[in-house]
Amino acid sequence: MPLKTLTGKHADPRKGRGAGINPEGRFEVEQREAFDDGWTREEQEELPPLKTVVTVERAKSIISHNDSPDVGFSQSINPYSGCEHGCSYCSHPDTPILMFNGRTKPIRELRVGDEIYGTVREGWYRRYTKSRVLAHWSVIKPAWRTILEDGTELITSGDHRFLTQRGWKFVSAGEVRRPYLTMNNKLMGIGRFASTSPKTPQYELGYACGMIRGDGTLGLYEYSRANGTLDRRGHFRLALSNGQVLLRTQDYLENLGMHTNGFLFQAVAGQPLMRAIADQRRSDVAQLRRWMTLPYAPSRGWWTGFLAGIFDAEGSYADGILRISNTDPEIISRIKRGLDLLRFRYAVEHPERRSGRPIEIIRVIGGLREHLRFFHTVDPAVTQKLDIEGRAVKSSAKLRVVSIEPLGKAMRLYDITTETGDFIANGVVSHNCFARPSHAYRNLSPGIDFETRIFAKPNAAELLRAELSRPGYKCSEIAIGVNTDAYQPIEREWKITRSIIEVCSEFNQPIGLITKNATIERDIDLLAPMAAKRLAAVTISLNNLDHEIARRLEPRCAAPTRRLQVIKRLSDAGIPVCALLAPVIPFINDDQIESVLEAAWEHGARSAGYVLLRLPWEVKDIFRDWLERHYPLKAKHVMSRVHAMRGGRDNDPCFGSRMSGTGELATLLEKRFDIASRRIGFSTQRRRDLDTTLFRVPDTGPQMALF
């Protein structure tokens, strides 16, 4: 990890950089302050320019997903990692997270790369889907307790968000206006996870009984010796294709004092490899037969172990149905008694069979909530049987909020970033810190570090090809360069963005790019053919025509006149171009709205939009410092106008208003933009009409096409 460029908020401005300070990231523990050591610098002495340091980041996935109503896309790619805005959400370290194998793990024990369950929206429903942990960290923050009607208890920060029937809501109202939980809000999910039974000797004995009664061979045999005498020999064998189950059974028998021998039972080409454990000692087999009988007063631990063992031997879980079947009435009776003890509801089926002994099927009812309670309570060894991918996120669980209260103390809380943007925490859908600044969780500053410490993803094209080739991929527009510009100066050499466009062209994957740099002209040869098939569109960020303002506000970007030339070259090549006025800053560039729109139209842009200045936590101090250095006489007026359009605060994070502001002044600005756009001829529809029907996975096989 690269070291910080400078430390402390008192670092001096450097030529060619926009930020004049390098404040600590919000997750840094150490704080720094200026110290006068007696050395001085002449006022006219110019500090040397700072070099950009590029760090290779071997990403594990490349497509990010979002469901924000404020943007016209649900997928995005960022070839280079920069600073992102947002809050730290965070949960209690013991909060159980639903893993992809069906088990749970405390959030503090998660690691980057772990496979978990998240959700994805399909039509009217959210559905459970496989996800992966991309980042994991902890902070110390004031803690809140949320209690649900079914007893689920959630310890989080006030900035945490849960999915309710009315959308995402924060735990507390916070300092800015935002949707937050209130009494009677219902959360989405299945409710609190059940505790897993401890692996006591009684549990192990019950598991061995269920496993061997279901799948084992056990008996005592008499045979005649050569001298005519009779001898008795024991025989026990358990042969399985699942090594995980076999190893657990062998370990439990070893703990109970019975040693077994393992061997390869069957190895046939095209068939699953079968391994077995066996014991022929008469005393061991006699003891094992006694263990197979029902104890006089089985404990709860014995029953949970028995249900786990019989499920591993005879159970199945498919299409949302949990079944255990057997032909032995005694075993069926035991299964029912165990389920009754643990308060599971079930139905019994008697399917017709043309031959063999009658079979009974016990089906656990109650939906996903009860199925997960079964798996978590009894803890079978087979994890492949639990697959809830594609199941709808709906439940009759009593998840109404009955209590929300601050705990009155700060705690160490944990959070993760995931591929899907969410995760399942103690049975409810939780939002992860999707918008948390990437430089902050690397212990870098959102100030000068953001401009000098770049993280590049050279394997982006390789990852994209794999993700687009997945059978379950659903085509929709991918926005490229949303959080950080995809055409940063290092793109000329690294060409990561170009490699992404090449892959999208192969798959006929529609894309939208947003940039303020002229390097995009290099890729016209790729973008023009895609645009001809309605597969590509470009947004050029252009917020003023004053070179002096541009030099101060965006010192390392293409000049305004150069961006206009880019718009013309793209539009002349048949590529649709949108002009984005972002950010619009009161008293700085808001007087140029009409002139920017007219110039963009003359150069070929045919749609336009704007974004009001946003000052999330990481940016507010940097912007105030920038104002004081470049426009000291306007600073107070600018912030006063910002507060008037942001509900009295520096920033408004609420969906629906965060891009355009609220209040009378914000409404006037919106009307002014609309009037100018319509007069000039612009379409103000930001959502691009790109074609998703042409998507295809290219044939990479060696066979040539016949026609």
- As a three-state string, the secondary structure of 33-91 is CCCCCCCCCCCCCCCCCCCCEEEECCCCCCCEECCCCCCCCCEEECCEECCCCCCCCCE
pLDDT-based confidence at residue 37 (cuts at 50, 70, 90): very low
Q: What is the mean pLDDT of residues 182-189?
A: 92
pLDDT at 689 (0 to 100): 80
pLDDT value at 526 more than 50:
yes
Q: What is the pTM of this model?
A: 0.53
CB 600 within 8 A of CB 608: yes
Q: What is the mean pLDDT of residues 570-577?
A: 96
Please state the length of the chain. Answer: 707
pLDDT at 113 (0 to 100): 85
pLDDT value at 651 more than 70:
yes
Q: Is the alpha carbon torsion for 560, 561, 567, 573 positive or negative?
A: negative
Token output for 42: 């002449």
Could you tell me where in the chain the CATH 3.10.28.10 domains are found? 201-378
Q: Checking phi first, is residue 578 left (phi over 0); if not, alpha (psi -120 to 50) or beta? A: beta
Token output for 549: 């303002």
pLDDT at 650 (0 to 100): 83
Query: Residue 644 and residue 402: Cα distance in Å, rounded?
Result: 36
Token output for 481: 């360069």
Q: Checking phi first, is residue 442 left (phi over 0); if not, alpha (psi -120 to 50) or beta? A: alpha
DSSP per position, 381-423: S--TT---TT-BS------BEEEEEEEEEEEEEEEEEESSSEE
Q: Is the alpha carbon torsion for 309, 313, 318, 321 positive or negative?
A: negative
What three-state secondary structure class fits 509? Answer: coil
Residue 237, H or E segment: strand 230-240
Q: Average pLDDT over the chain, rounded to whole?
A: 82
Could you tell me where in the chain the CATH 2.170.16.10 domains are found? 87-189+393-431
Distances (CA, A) of 634 to 142, 571, 588, 611: 36, 37, 8, 21
Query: Residue 511 and residue 62: Cα distance in Å, rounded?
Result: 14
pLDDT tens column, 271-306: 778 889 988 888 888 888 888 888 888 899 999 999
Exposed/middle/buried for 175, CB within 10 Å: 0-12, 13-18, 19+?
exposed
Distances (CA, A) of 681 to 39, 363, 606, 674, 676: 60, 65, 8, 10, 9
Provide CB contacts within 8 A for 24, sequence distance 6+. 8, 9, 30, 31, 32, 445
pLDDT value at 3 more than 70:
no
Query: Residue 16 and residue 554: Cα distance in Å, rounded?
Result: 9
Query: Residue 699 and residue 607: Cα distance in Å, rounded?
Result: 36
Q: Mean pLDDT check: name the lowest of 120-129, 565-574, 640-649.
A: 120-129
pLDDT value at 307 more than 90:
yes
pLDDT-based confidence at residue 617 (cuts at 50, 70, 90): low
Residue written as token pair 């059940």: 194
Fold of domain 201-378: Endonuclease I-creI (3.10.28)
Residue 606, H or E segment: none
pLDDT-based confidence at residue 158 (cuts at 50, 70, 90): confident
Q: Checking phi first, is residue 343 left (phi over 0); if not, alpha (psi -120 to 50) or beta? A: left
Strand 577-584, strand 536-541: pairing? parallel
Identify which has the larger pLDDT, 484 or 341.
Answer: 341
Exposed/middle/buried for 692, CB within 10 Å: 0-12, 13-18, 19+?
middle
Q: Mean pLDDT check: name the lowest of 122-126, 184-188, 371-375, 683-687.
A: 683-687
Query: Residue 204 and residue 198: Cα distance in Å, rounded?
Result: 10
pLDDT at 2 (0 to 100): 43
pLDDT at 55 (0 to 100): 67
pLDDT tens column, 379-413: 999 876 678 888 888 878 889 999 999 988 878 88
Q: What is the mean pLDDT of residues 560-575?
A: 95
Across the beta sheet with 53-56, the strand order is: 53-56, 453-456, 80-81
pLDDT tens column, 59-85: 677 887 765 555 566 788 888 765 332
Class assignment of domain 87-189+393-431?
A: mainly beta
Strand 104-106, strand 577-584: pairing? unpaired
* DSSP, res 13: P
Distances (CA, A) of 628 to 208, 259, 634: 74, 78, 8
